[in-house]
Amino acid sequence: MVYLELFLSFLMIGFTSFGGMSMIPLISDQMLTHGWMTAAEVADIVAIAEMTPGPLGINCATFAGARTAGVAGAIVASFGVMVPSLTLAVLAAMFLKKFKDSRVLNEAMYGIRPVAIGMIVAVMVQQSMNNYAGTLFGCISWPAVVIGLVSLFVLLRLKWSVPKTILLAAALGLVLCGVETAFPLPV
Report the pLDDT value the prediction gives residue 17, as an integer from 0 to 100. 76
Q: Which of 108, 153, 148, 104 minimizes the C-alpha distance to 128?
A: 148
Give percent of the chain above pLDDT 70. Answer: 90
Report the pLDDT value the prediction gives residue 180, as an integer from 0 to 100. 57
The Cα–Cα gap between 112 and 94 comes to: 22
Contact 64, 45 (CB under 8 A): yes
Report the pLDDT value the prediction gives residue 95, as an integer from 0 to 100. 72
Report the pLDDT value the prediction gives residue 128, as an integer from 0 to 100. 82
Residue 57 has pLDDT above 90, yes or no: no
Q: Structural domain boundaries of the chain?
A: 2-138, 141-187
- Going by pLDDT thresholds of 50, 70 and 90, the confidence category of residue 34 is very high
Q: Is the pTM of this model over 0.85?
A: no
Contact 42, 60 (CB under 8 A): no
- Going by pLDDT thresholds of 50, 70 and 90, the confidence category of residue 154 is very high
